Amino acid sequence: MLGRHNVLLGATLLWLLSGCHTLNTCDECWWYNRTASHKLSQGVENYEEGNYIASVEALNTVLQTKLADKDDKVSAYKYLAFIHCVSGREKMCYEAFRKALLLKPTFELTPAEAGHPVWGPVFRSAKAKFGK
């Protein structure tokens, strides 16, 4: 009896997980919506739309997720720095860049990002002190 129950449970689990394959996207999967990568994507999308409050919330979720990889966390700090800089919070901007550089000392902005008049100088200052 226990064997039949395990087979049934396994088949049900397999059926639930196979739904993502049929949908051709993981955006519809309940487990994907909870990952750090998905939260980072949401944070970046909200940032690009100018919804900084929602962006900060999503980016902070990435930073609090223990399983988030280093690159996701560096990206989250980068976008947080951008938000702080354009919001006139230069010290918080610097601090976010500092944290990104402590995680990844070789972290660089793209040429377009580095040339930005607001956060470019803040990044260069943090990079000089904490980067390689």
Q: What pLDDT, on the 0 to 100 scale, is given for residue 43? A: 95
pLDDT at residue number 23: 46
Q: Is 9 exposed, middle or buried (0-12, 13-18, 19+ CB in 10 A)?
A: exposed
Of how many residues is the chain composed? Answer: 132
pTM above 0.85, yes or no: no
- The predicted structure's pLDDT at residue 110: 96
Q: What is the pLDDT of residue 5?
A: 62
76 and 62 Cβ atoms separated by less than 8 Å: yes
The pLDDT score that the predictor gives to residue 66 is 84
Residue ranges in the chain whose pLDDT is less than 70: 1-34
pLDDT at position 19, please? Answer: 52
